[in-house]
């Protein structure tokens, strides 16, 4: 075999498999290395779908798609973009949660870059080992808080890999510009430490100044090696995520998807809910069940959205209540964390969700707790006592961690709730209607923001960009879709929605002087010209 033929066959970015034409095969020395038939991408997708159908479960389908990505990248993205409803839950949530839990056992070709404590002092050199020299988006985790599953150490690599696959499939960022990274600082998962197939450092998590210095070296090295790169912090523990964002947001181009992306998709859902109810954000009372960084991030963006519409900060904050593991976040709550202090309210410490609902009388209930089955019949029934159409958003994922299902929410509210969840649920038939649950997944937001940042080479990522993305996304849902329960655009057209949102975010980036490229005369056409096309 010729050397160049070998390089093409084993480079997933170049390999087209049986789609190479006869002239290409002759030119590249591939003749005889495939059967004679020259197949279209459509035929290749048919074969891939047939092979997927024979897999026993979604984890096996995840493994198959991962291997497809390793041998024919464009075919992998053709599949994802052609049918995101079918494949997004396999490539990302909820299946990626199980894949991360079993990562050490199902690992084939290690994807991404593993930056270990052993690499201190030479992280820039480790980054240069990556085969692409112009990385624009890094999704990085330290694996401590993977979805609602806790500390998975370097097995959390499945999250950056999955996130970046959707940057490309949904947002249209070229895969060569994306790099998944795990910071291996050890793990406190005793099961992993005792598992001979765990492939990471076998040591307890490093914390404190040593951890901070390690992350600092990483961030500085990224600026040195990939100066046009945006860093997405992903699935860090609350106690780490909030300080990291505060430390770096005004220094480098970065954001935290769990805080800012989650906030934007939630606020987009609230904008759409207000359209369905013909009211405004300021007409609601909000109770967050779960008071981590996701909850406070959503709450802060809700406040900013109200302020942008003329509501004072005092009045906006007066509409927000949080609930942590000890109960309502009031002055007597013994478990208040630093990031919750801005949300401390006067009142009685109500220890249960049902008691909190009765005391606060929220019209919007948002779950970020990862505590399943906590939005009970009694809780939602209590909301119905004073609210005809409660807004119910159980955003925790994966599915096993959702606070309630779509069927439960609509059954217990006689089909009247405005519903969205973090995980996918099937349509629900009730009282002669079929209601379609919306999935408030960050995938509606971060690929769009990422495409805008990638195209404009933005120097910073701001909360205003996420608010603009939320406003744009909410406008993408039609009145007809709202009438059947959807508050987000259907997943079927999520790629189209992402590009449209990216155009509006890019306009804001130019307006605020944050772009590092010249403003084009037609931003819409210019953004679309940047979108990756996986077709052969």
Give every strand in the sheet of 137-141, ordered side by side: 113-116, 178-184, 137-141, 230-233, 254-256
Kind and range of the H or E run holding 247: helix 238-248
Task: List for the chain the helix, strand, coil content (%; round to 5).
Answer: 50, 10, 40
Grouping H, G, I as helix, E, B as strand and the rest as coil, residue 87 is helix
**Residue 398 preceded by cis peptide, ω within 30:** yes
Could you tell me the CA-to-CA distances from 302 to 135, 266, 277 in Å, in that order?
33, 9, 17
Selection from 476, 464, 479 nearest residue 513 by Cα: 464
Q: Is the Cβ–Cβ distance between 148 and 397 less than 8 Å? A: yes
- Neighbouring CB atoms inside 10 A of 190's CB total 10
Q: Is the Cβ–Cβ distance between 364 and 393 less than 8 Å? A: yes
- The residue with tokens 């006067």 is 346
Q: Is the dihedral of CA 249, 254, 258, 262 positive or negative?
A: positive
Q: Is 144 exposed, middle or buried (0-12, 13-18, 19+ CB in 10 A)?
A: buried
- Burial state string for 148-169 with b = 16 or more CB within 10 A and e = fewer than 16: bbebbbbbbbbbbbbbbbbbbb
Set 16, 62, 77, 92: catalytic member: 92
Q: Is the Cβ–Cβ distance between 304 and 266 less than 8 Å? A: no
Selection from 331, 311, 312, 330 nearest residue 321 by Cα: 330
Q: Is 92 a catalytic residue?
A: yes
Residue 435 pairs in a beta bridge with 428
Selection from 76, 72, 68 nearest residue 8 by Cα: 72
- Neighbouring CB atoms inside 10 A of 224's CB total 12
Query: Which residues touch 366 (CB under 8 Å, ≥6 apart)?
Result: 266, 286, 287, 288, 289, 295, 298, 393, 395
Set 16, 77, 114, 163: catalytic member: 163
Q: Is 386 a catalytic residue?
A: no
Which positions are annotated as active-site residues?
92, 163
């Amino acid at each position: 075999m010729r050397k160049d033929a070998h390089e093409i066959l084993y480079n997933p970015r170049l390999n087209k498999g049986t789609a190479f034409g006869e002239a290409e095969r002759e030119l590249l020395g591939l003749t005889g290395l495939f059967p004679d038939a020259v197949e279209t991408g459509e035929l290749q997708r048919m074969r891939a779908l047939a092979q997927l159908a024979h897999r026993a479960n979604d984890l096996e389908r995840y493994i198959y798609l991962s291997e497809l990505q390793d041998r024919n990248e464009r075919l992998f993205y053709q599949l994802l973009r052609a049918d995101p409803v079918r494949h997004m839950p396999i490539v990302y949530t909820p299946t990626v949660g199980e894949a991360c839990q079993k990562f050490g056992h199902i690992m084939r070709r290690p994807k991404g870059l593993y930056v270990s404590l052993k690499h201190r002092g030479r992280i820039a050199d480790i980054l240069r080992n990556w085969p692409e020299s112009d990385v624009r988006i890094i999704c990085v985790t330290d694996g401590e808080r993977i979805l609602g599953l806790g500390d998975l150490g370097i097995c959390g690599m499945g999250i950056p890999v999955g996130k970046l696959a959707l940057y490309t499939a949904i947002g249209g960022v070229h895969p060569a510009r994306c790099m998944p990274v795990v910071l291996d600082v050890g793990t406190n998962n005793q099961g992993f430490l005792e598992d001979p197939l765990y492939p990471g450092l076998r040591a307890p998590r490093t914390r404190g100044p040593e951890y901070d210095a390690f992350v600092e070296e990483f961030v500085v090295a990224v600026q040195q090696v990939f100066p046009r790169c945006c860093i997405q912090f992903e699935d860090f523990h609350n106690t780490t995520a909030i300080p990291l964002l505060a430390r770096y947001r005004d220094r480098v181009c970065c954001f935290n998807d769990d805080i800012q992306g989650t906030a934007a998709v939630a606020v987009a859902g609230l904008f759409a809910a207000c359209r369905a109810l013909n009211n405004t954000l300021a007409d609601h009372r909000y109770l967050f069940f779960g008071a981590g960084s996701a909850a406070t991030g959503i709450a802060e963006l809700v406040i900013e959205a109200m302020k942008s519409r003329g509501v004072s900060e005092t009045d906006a904050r007066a509409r927000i209540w949080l609930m942590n593991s000890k109960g309502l976040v009031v002055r007597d709550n013994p478990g208040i964390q630093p990031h919750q202090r801005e949300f401390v309210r006067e009142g009685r410490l109500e220890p249960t969700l049902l008691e909190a609902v009765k005391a606060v009388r929220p019209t919007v209930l948002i779950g970020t707790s990862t505590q399943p089955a906590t939005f009970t019949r009694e809780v939602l029934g209590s909301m119905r006592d004073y609210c005809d159409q409660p807004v119910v958003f159980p955003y925790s994922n994966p599915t096993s961690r959702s606070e309630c299902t779509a069927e439960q929410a609509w059954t217990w509210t006689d089909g009247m709730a405005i519903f969205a969840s973090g995980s996918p649920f099937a349509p629900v038939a009730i009282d002669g209607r079929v209601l379609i649950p919306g999935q408030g997944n960050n995938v509606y937001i971060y690929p769009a923001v990422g495409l805008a940042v990638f195209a404009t080479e933005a120097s910073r990522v701001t909360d205003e960009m996420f608010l603009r993305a939320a406003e744009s996304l909410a406008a993408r849902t039609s009145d007809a879709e709202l009438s059947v329960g959807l508050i987000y655009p259907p997943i079927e057209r999520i790629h189209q929605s992402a590009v449209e949102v990216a155009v509006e975010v890019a306009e804001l980036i130019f307006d605020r002087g944050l772009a590092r490229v010249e403003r084009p005369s037609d931003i819409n056409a210019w953004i679309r010209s940047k979108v990756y096309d996986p077709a052969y």
